[in-house]
Amino acid sequence: MSFSEKIKENHQVLKKCEAVSAFNVGASRAYYCAFINIKRYLIAKDYDYNQFLAHIDKTEEREYSHGTIKRALFECLLKNKNNIKNISQLNVIDNLYRKRKIADYDEKEISNTQFYDSLKELEIIETILGAVQ
């Protein structure tokens, strides 16, 4: 299954999550939708993730790890001379990840507000990536 198909499938699940108020699953899927979008972008740009990991002294990390993907995206965008009006918008990745961890690993619940925030944050990532393809 291609990354594009996985992204599409996650969007379908997000709609179902919204319809049945499955906010925990939805927050998790929103993060993974953003994550897969970023991974697809990095691969499309032939980004050398292993070289990046060596450069940041994280050779023990897996390629496309949750802990390094935002920084890799930032560096790849700069390397490809992409001009983003507000680079701080990439910080929504951290928000998505934090909510995904709560949704998947904590006994707390994701609220409907947090879920809808996740949808907005996913849209920000998709807009950024759509503008730099």
Q: What is the mean pLDDT of residues 1-24?
A: 96
What's residue 16's pLDDT?
A: 97
pTM comes to 0.93
32 has pLDDT over 90:
yes
97 has pLDDT over 90:
yes
Q: Is 14 exposed, middle or buried (0-12, 13-18, 19+ CB in 10 A)?
A: buried
Mean pLDDT over each residue of the chain, to the nearest integer: 93
